[in-house]
Chain A
Amino acid sequence: MSTLSNSAVPAVDVPAVDIRSVGRIFPGRKGASVTALDNVSLTVAPGEFVSLIGPSGCGKSTLLRLIADLDVPTSGNIRVFGKPARQARIDQDYGIAFQQAGLLPWRTVTGNIELPLELHGVDRPGRRARAAELIELVGLTEFAGSYPDQLSGGMQQRVAIARSLAERPSLLLMDEPFGALDEMTRERMQNELVRICAETAAAVVFVTHSIPEAVFLSNRVVVMSPRPGRIRRVVPVGLGAMRDRGEDLREDAGFFRSLSTVRDLLHGDDGPAIGAPRGVETR
């Protein structure tokens, strides 16, 4: 296969993310180690939107950090577009956004979005053009020259998302990017993210606390349980293609059905969830 040599256009049969029996144990003081993740396996197809949801301490952020190679698994292995996670990071195969926007306060909106391009040697006109394009995509054209502290939390987060898209990654990793936003802003950002995903066709791994957010955005919702962090169930949402998702989807019957399935899984026992739709994968 020639897929290994071509990172930009992965072949259909190579998953965007392939997680196999991954465990992560944090060594604690006096041998009291914490098992953040235990035997987790998950595959994310190219262009697929997968949410990781679960209570605090279920290891969902840890899992995302492992995919991003910001942390290394204790056992098992992770491949991103068929490459080891480390190689994928070095090759810049993913874009990432965190719960905190993490903008550099001494750079303007444009400067912040240009940062990854600048670090990877894109020339000045190229950077300017791409930044302008992205600023328009996230609707901040008026604020291109503003500094982060002159923007609201939602606007800062949009800049961070634009920055994560700067190098047209085929995989987006998002760690509760809307976690600090109010409900109104949050829903608007979700709508925008759906639109952006439809336009860029990138695979997304999205960590969240919010059940409606996970269900609204995802093709599949991965429900996790804590201590040790494990995948409890993967719920296929099946609300249709990204480009067809709009505000009215939040009123849809299928939306509510998936909502209650995920909620039952999060709150209830591990037994067969009542009224679970067909096709739910059990792990």
Chain B
Amino acid sequence: MSTATELRRARPVQAVLAPIVLGLLVVLAWQGAVTAFAIKPFILPAPFAIGAELAANLQSVLAGMTVTGGNALVGLLLGAVLGVLLAILSALVRVLDGMAAPIVSSIAVVPIVALAPVLYTMFGAGAETARQLVAALAVFVPVYFNTLRGLRQVRPVHRDLMRSYAASSWQATRTVTLPTALPFVFTGLRIASSLAVISALIAEYFGGPVGGLGKSITSAAASSNYGLAWAYVLGSIILGLVFYGGALGIEKLATRRT
């Protein structure tokens, strides 16, 4: 019993410590290589220099994260709600599923960010709408497919059981179908959370208002401010992690058992 507890206690420390040690080693090797081989900053800036830039421009990096993060969040919520609702409809109405499947599949293979320039002309280059829509579209696909798959996972024995209880279709949906689908919905949301950030950020490369991380990266690189460009890249990595971590946290919260 005590060994099991010790093991359980030792594992998280290892799990947290090991990647941190590896990450530090990589950063040190990187710093060492840049110094030793005198690598020019436009090829690869030293990590300490990037860190210093980040510290010096923390306000503007945070502002960029807020703008891009805001767009990603709006897109994530919009796409997720649409994805879940449409998946429920498709699961209930067979005809609708037949109609929607090829369309959603074709959305899945469209490079969604390619729509950004067209959307900018539709909604005006001064608005964030185009970016939010790009993120929403990117989010919609995995949420829709995962939710639909989840709604079809009801085991035959559970279906028989519900029939033997003479349960109404709403009762069966509430007690069996939706709880069965829930882990799949969250898997879709977890995938979608990173996609939302990526899409919102890449969409900025194609125009629209300044202030977001994508715009800041391109303008810093264009003005040869490589350390700053990398600092913004670091900001977008952190933003992606925040979204992924948030989705993971909500998933754990919703599917936890005491």
Contacts and interface: CB of A to CB of B under 8 A. Distances in A.
A120 B157 contact: no
Nearest to B166: A90
B163 A70 contact: yes
Interface of A is mostly: loop
Interface in B156-183: 157-158, 160-161, 163-167, 171, 175-176, 179
Interface in B226-258: 257
A92 B160 contact: no
B152 interface: no
B164 A89 contact: yes
Contacts of B160: 65, 68, 70, 96, 98, 102
A96 B160 CA distance: 10
A120 B166 CA distance: 9
Given A90-B166, A102-B155, A147-B257, A119 B175 contact: yes
Contact of B179 (A65, A94, A104, A119): A104
A118 B179 CA distance: 16
Contacts of B161: 96, 98, 102
Nearest to A167: B165
A154 interface: no
A226 interface: no
A19 to B, nearest CB: 18
Interface string A37-80: 00000000000000000000000000001001110000000000
Given A98-B157, A119-B171, A147-B257, A104 B164 contact: no
A100 interface: yes
B171 A96 contact: no
A120 B165 CA distance: 8
Interface string A111-123: 0000110111000
Interface of B is mostly: helix
Interface in A154-213: none
A112 to B, nearest CB: 10
Interface in B97-156: 155
A272 B171 CA distance: 52
Nearest to B255: A106
A100 B157 contact: yes
A119 B155 contact: no
Interface residues of B, number: 15
A100 B171 CA distance: 22
A268 B175 CA distance: 48
Contacts of A118: 175
A102 B157 contact: yes
With a 10 A CB-CB cut-off, give which of B158, B160, B164, B171 has the most chain A CB atoms.
B164
Contacts of A100: 155, 157
A102 B163 CA distance: 13
B175 A68 contact: no
A89 B166 contact: yes
Given A104-B175, A104-B176, A119-B175, A92 B166 contact: yes
A65 B157 CA distance: 12
Interface string B70-85: 0000000000000000
A116 B158 CA distance: 12
B103 to A, nearest CB: 31
A106 B163 CA distance: 20
A115 B175 CA distance: 9
Interface in A97-153: 98, 100, 102, 104, 106, 115-116, 118-120, 147
Given A100-B157, A102-B155, A68 B176 contact: no
With a 10 A CB-CB cut-off, give which of A89, A90, A102 has the most chain B CB atoms.
A102
A115 to B, nearest CB: 7
Contacts of A115: 165, 175
Contacts of B257: 106, 147
Given A94-B164, A102-B158, A106-B179, 15 more contacts: A68-B164, A70-B163, A89-B163, A89-B164, A92-B165, A92-B166, A96-B161, A98-B157, A98-B160, A98-B161, A100-B155, A100-B157, A104-B158, A106-B257, A119-B165
Interface of A: 65, 68-70, 89-90, 92, 94, 96, 98, 100, 102, 104, 106, 115-116, 118-120, 147
Closest CB pairs A-B (n = 4): A102-B157, A90-B166, A96-B164, A100-B157
17 contacts: A65-B160, A68-B164, A69-B163, A69-B164, A70-B160, A70-B163, A89-B164, A92-B165, A94-B164, A96-B161, A98-B160, A100-B157, A102-B160, A102-B161, A106-B257, A115-B165, A119-B175
